[in-house]
Amino acid sequence: MAGIADFLDSLIGGFALVCFAFAVGSLFWGLFVLRPWLRDAGYPAVLLERTVKLLYAGGFALAGAQVFKIILKIWLMSAVLDKWPFPEFAETTQFIGGIVRALFTLVLAGYCYCVLSKNPYSKDYWQTAGLVAVPMIISGAWLVHAAGRFDNPVILMGLTVIHQLAAAAWIGGVFHLVNIWLMRSKKQISADLWPLLLKRFSLFGMASVGVILLSGVPMALQYIDSWNGFIGTGYGNLLMVKIILLALALSLAWLNKSAVADYFVTRDGHALNYRVPYYIEAEAFVLITLLFTAASLASQPPSIDIPNLTASWQEVVDMFTPRVPRTASPTHQALIAGEAGRVAIIGQVPSEAATAWSDYNHNIAGIFLTTMSFFAMLSYVKRLPSAFSGFERYLGYLTRYWPIGFVGLGIFLFFRSDAETWPLGPIGFWESTFNNGEVLQHRIATLLVFVLGVLELVARLPRNQNSRLPYFFPILAAFGGLMLLTHSHVGFQAKSAFLIQIGHTLMGVFSLVLACGRWLELKLDRPGKDIAGFISVAALFQIGLILMFYREPLY
């Protein structure tokens, strides 16, 4: 069961950051955006009730996540070290700091549940909630990876806390904007509040992003000491992903800001009501992914510590160089024959068959995706050039039912992903799934691809035109993107693992673009709808190209 413990242990870090964003973001939202104590605010009770509820729900969930994290560490250590980790674990910073933080979080959530919820219009109670949150926020400093550093730990711990605080203020605020839109859609709050709160949040959001950058840049300079460290290590690579996601989120935020500014000039609410809510939903997708990437970043050794394991920029470029895809696979017997040598510690022999097996899997998956996305892109072309007009009668089916490729891909991956396990290999299905985190990841990905294909196919049948089924595609694609962004290959040398990681993280970014594009295509009106849709399938095409040219380092 070590695989599940490992999986859950790493899962809980990102989940805790999301809860933190809900709790602390709600506090900032109440104190700086809503300011319900102002005379002219005139908010309905239901709005404040919901705001405080999100605050204490986030707090209780964070306390639970903190305790669960400790339980998982105990479980993981028992499994990995093969011994009961007490009394030693009770003396560690992680145990003491985790318990203390959980208690402080409970105090905050309890105060908001028992007191603030009954006095949501009072400035004093909001400010007290802010003060009660301070110990919880500060106690988090001992749980970040700066706490284990030898150089400038106090400064780095402080910067990390400020960075987390600013991120929570921004991301929590975006969660609240989604909440405000949902309440407005149900007519629970006045329509006037929507533009008003959007405008107030614009300024607050920009200030939060400013603090994120001001605290993040010095940390990055402390952990990465060269351009090569930025380009050629897992830490640098995930930081680059964070920067790309930040840019994506800021692009959506800029669209929102422009629409709000236009509204206050023209009083035309079309963009505000038919575009901005969906940009914000897409922004929330991106920001949650950003939080999980941040949690993933904390599990990487900083670039400055591994100068001998850093890949050169030439090696990085080589991973994306176009080449003829591998369309012939080594036999399963050849693969299994090389496994004993590959996994041995003493006398390890790199397996060319294992590398070729993996290349074949990735390259064939790439051919699946490029073909599917090619037909998907064709669906945006009104008419084919005259030389291809004979194909037009088939075009309708091909451009409509291209997701069937996902079903085929899912079946292909099921048989090929982990050749040493069932159904091809000697290790049983349950044994491999629950004892190996990487196999568990592959199983989830395979199921995801298959389900995604089936749901999208069913959604495209004429009788399901008005169902909600099409929305599952972007949801599952976003989840798949998150898996790719945090995908890891254990048992590799750090440099090999990184060279594998860069392809996966880039595909993860494109998957998120695919998800957000499709979500916006389903929600927006024209021409934004078509632009978002085309960007979405073009991102799928890019994923296909990366997979088609993928080459795994020999290990």
Partner 1 sequence: MKNLYLLSLLLLALYQPIACAHAVVTDYSLKITPIHENQADKVSLDFNSKIELGLSQVFLVSKGDKQTLLTIGKGDKQGRVNIEIPALVSGDYALKLKVFAADGHLTEDVIHFTVAP
Which 417-446 residues touch partner 1, going by CB under 8 A? 437-438, 440-441
- Kindly state whether residue 299 participates in binding partner 1, applying the rule CB under 8 A: yes
- Name the segment binding partner 1 (CB under 8 A); options: 40-48, 302-310, 453-461, 530-538: 302-310
Output 148 or 396, the one with its CB closest to partner 1: 148
Output 148 or 210, the one with its CB closest to partner 1: 148
Distance in Å, CB of 217 to partner 1, minimum: 21
- Kindly state whether residue 74 participates in binding partner 1, applying the rule CB under 8 A: no
Distance in Å, CB of 374 to partner 1, minimum: 27
Q: How far apart are CA 277 and CA 281, in angstroms?
A: 6
- Determine which residue in the list 56, 102, 189, 281 makes contact with partner 1, applying CB under 8 A: 281
> Are 516 and 540 a contacting pair, CB within 8 Å?
no
Nearest to 139 by CA among 210, 62, 54: 62
> Are 2 and 79 a contacting pair, CB within 8 Å?
yes
- Kindly state whether residue 454 participates in binding partner 1, applying the rule CB under 8 A: no
- Name the segment binding partner 1 (CB under 8 A); options: 107-115, 123-131, 193-201, 338-346: 338-346
- Kindly state whether residue 462 participates in binding partner 1, applying the rule CB under 8 A: no
Q: How far apart are CA 143 and CA 102, in angstroms?
A: 12
- Determine which residue in the list 39, 91, 327, 466 makes contact with partner 1, applying CB under 8 A: 91
Output 36 or 234, the one with its CB closest to partner 1: 234
Distance in Å, CB of 511 to partner 1, minimum: 12
- Determine which residue in the list 33, 77, 419, 539 makes contact with partner 1, applying CB under 8 A: 77
427 pairs with which residues across the strands?
421
- Name the segment binding partner 1 (CB under 8 A); options: 85-93, 352-360, 364-372, 402-410: 85-93
* Residue 31: partners with Cβ closer than 8 Å, 6 or more residues away: 126, 127, 130
> Are 95 and 69 a contacting pair, CB within 8 Å?
no
- Kindly state whether residue 298 participates in binding partner 1, applying the rule CB under 8 A: yes
> Are 325 and 549 a contacting pair, CB within 8 Å?
yes
State the binding string over 230-269 for partner 1 (x if CB under 8 A, else -). ----------------------------------------
Question: Which residue carries 């400013």 as its tokens?
Answer: 210
Calculate the alpha carbon distances from 500 to 314, 362, 514, 553 in Å: 15, 11, 21, 8
Q: How far apart are CA 290 and CA 285, in angstroms?
A: 9
- Determine which residue in the list 38, 49, 93, 266 makes contact with partner 1, applying CB under 8 A: 93
Distance in Å, CB of 468 to partner 1, minimum: 6
- Name the segment binding partner 1 (CB under 8 A); options: 127-135, 340-348, 371-379, 393-401: 340-348
> Are 482 and 289 a contacting pair, CB within 8 Å?
yes
306 SS3 class: coil
The two structure tokens encoding residue 456 = 């999208």
* Residue 188: partners with Cβ closer than 8 Å, 6 or more residues away: 44, 46, 47
Output 80 or 206, the one with its CB closest to partner 1: 80
Output 13 or 403, the one with its CB closest to partner 1: 13
**# of chain residues touching partner 1 (CB under 8 A):** 72
Dihedral sign of CA atoms 174, 177, 181, 187 in order: positive
HEC-encoded secondary structure of 386-418: HHHHHHHHHHHHHHHCCCHHHHHHHHHHHHHCC
Distance in Å, CB of 461 to partner 1, minimum: 19
- Cα angle 246-247-249, degrees, rounded to a multiple of 5: 65
Distance in Å, CB of 39 to partner 1, minimum: 32
DSSP state letter for 34: I
Q: How far apart are CA 39 and CA 121, in angstroms?
A: 10
Which 349-408 residues touch partner 1, going by CB under 8 A? none
Output 175 or 360, the one with its CB closest to partner 1: 175
The two structure tokens encoding residue 260 = 């709000």
DSSP 335-356: HHHHHHHHH-STT----HHHHH
Output 303 or 358, the one with its CB closest to partner 1: 303
Q: Report the helix count and the strand count for the chain, using DSSP H and E.
A: 20, 0
- Determine which residue in the list 53, 67, 94, 404 makes contact with partner 1, applying CB under 8 A: 94
Which 156-195 residues touch partner 1, going by CB under 8 A? 178, 182, 185
- Determine which residue in the list 144, 356, 376, 506 makes contact with partner 1, applying CB under 8 A: 144
- Kindly state whether residue 7 participates in binding partner 1, applying the rule CB under 8 A: yes
Distance in Å, CB of 214 to partner 1, minimum: 23
Q: Is 518 exposed, middle or buried (0-12, 13-18, 19+ CB in 10 A)?
A: buried
- Kindly state whether residue 23 participates in binding partner 1, applying the rule CB under 8 A: no
Output 116 or 438, the one with its CB closest to partner 1: 438
